Amino acid sequence: MRTAKMTPIVFLIAAWLTGCKDKQGTGPEVPGKTQTQDTTGMIHYPQERHLRNVRQLTFGGNNAEAYWSNNGKFLVFQSDNPAWGVECDQIFFFNPFEDDLKKAIPTRLSRRDGRTTCSYFMPGDTMVLYASTHSDTSGCPPVPERRVGGKYVWPIYPSYDIYVCDLRGNLRMQLTNTEGYDAEATVSPKGNLIVYTALRQGDLNLWTMDIRGNHKKQITFLPGYDGGAFFSPDGTSIVFRASRPGTSEVRAQYYALLADGLVEPGEMEIFTCNVDGSNLKQVTALGKANWAPFYHPTGKKIIFSSNHASERGYQFNLYLINADGSGLEQVSFDPVFDSFPMFSPDGKYLVWSSNRNNGGTHDTNLFMAEWVD
């Protein structure tokens, strides 16, 4: 869960959307044309001026958290597509410029039992890290039911640890091995640091470690769930989303849920800090849920997902904002769900997850577009 690095944060949306995170598409858009059919068949909306030549990459199940390799040629992501023989989220990778996932199953990297989430390419693009529960279960751990009042909660599985595998799925390293949730890991473009979310001493905070899992260091300390962190293009800053329970009552509820291995992710804002945790700044103050942030390749803007403008609460769209919190601009316009945006290293492409063009199902698919500044 970078969201929501979670059973991945996609389950958060599943509940908010009454299940609108699964998907089944009808095919990629013809380049250069904007579809005009009803919204269940839309791939590209006319208002989406930053997106050109939109393509649908996956066609069934729940697909999310697609992240580029350092050379910009591959994507690694998580999926529970039953057509690919999985029962809960597993890690796959493919070449979005050459592979047709309508015709072929992408390479599966997570080979053991359990749920996986939050994959990311390591330096050199020959290995991938991800979080997995496989050390503590022989199958997929259960997803918790909604609590009294219908509020959605997601599980913070204590058996999540962070592993590294090669591109054939062979495990090479275990980076964390401490009781408590460890997930949502991403790698600095400098190739020297990993940032991740860990549950230690009763709270969820950001930590860093070196590329081999040594020199672990806590860098955020305020009460609330800090997660979904990414490095800036120059590797000097981190952007993340956080909940900040502001009253004693809300804090008590947060800690009570956390004691049961649960989080209620209803209110989150975007923050930045230096890689050592200093110079902490709040970027958004929009209310509701603002999450899945990622830096624009210039390092001067941040793209993220938000439902702050939704009257019903379940419509999430992509927004762009200056790193100082000014200049908010809406990027995507699907009436249900857009999230997990990530720029390619050269800034030419954006990949994200969406409920668009899912034929009225609950499917969430991956989409890619050329980025227009």
Q: What is the pLDDT of residues 320-349, one digit of tens each?
A: 999 999 999 999 999 999 999 999 999 999
Cα 342 from chain centroid (whole Å): 9
Question: pLDDT value at position 30?
Answer: 25
Contact criterion met (CB below 8 Å) for 132 and 160: yes
Question: pLDDT value at position 146?
Answer: 62
Q: Which residue has the tokens 């899912």?
A: 358
- The verdict on residue 169 lying in a domain is yes
Residue type, 30: V
Phi then psi dihedrals of residue 111, to 5 deg: -105, -5
Question: pLDDT value at position 233?
Answer: 98
Q: Domain with 60 in it: what CATH number?
A: 2.120.10.30
- The verdict on residue 4 lying in a domain is no
Nearest to 108 by CA among 134, 80, 142: 80
- The verdict on residue 5 lying in a domain is no
- The verdict on residue 2 lying in a domain is no
Range of the domain at 172: 10-371
244 three-state secondary structure: coil
Tally: H helices and E strands in the chain: 2, 26
CA distance 222 to 204: 9
- The verdict on residue 67 lying in a domain is yes
* Edge-to-edge strand ranges of the sheet holding 75-79: 63-68, 75-79, 90-94, 107-108
- The verdict on residue 62 lying in a domain is yes
- The verdict on residue 1 lying in a domain is no
DSSP type of residue 6: -
Question: pLDDT value at position 292?
Answer: 97
- Give the angle subtended at the CA of 109 by the CAs of 103 and 112, to the nearest 5°: 120
Question: pLDDT value at position 40?
Answer: 64
Question: pLDDT value at position 1?
Answer: 54
- Beta-sheet pairing, 51-56 with 349-354: unpaired
Nearest to 5 by CA among 328, 292, 339: 292
> For the whole model, what pTM was predicted?
0.90
The structural domain count of the chain equals 1
Contact criterion met (CB below 8 Å) for 244 and 251: no
CA distance 178 to 182: 8
Nearest to 169 by CA among 123, 218, 106, 253: 106
- The verdict on residue 3 lying in a domain is no
Question: pLDDT value at position 154?
Answer: 82
CA distance 318 to 277: 26
Residue type, 272: T
In the chain, which stretches have pLDDT less than 50? 3-38, 148
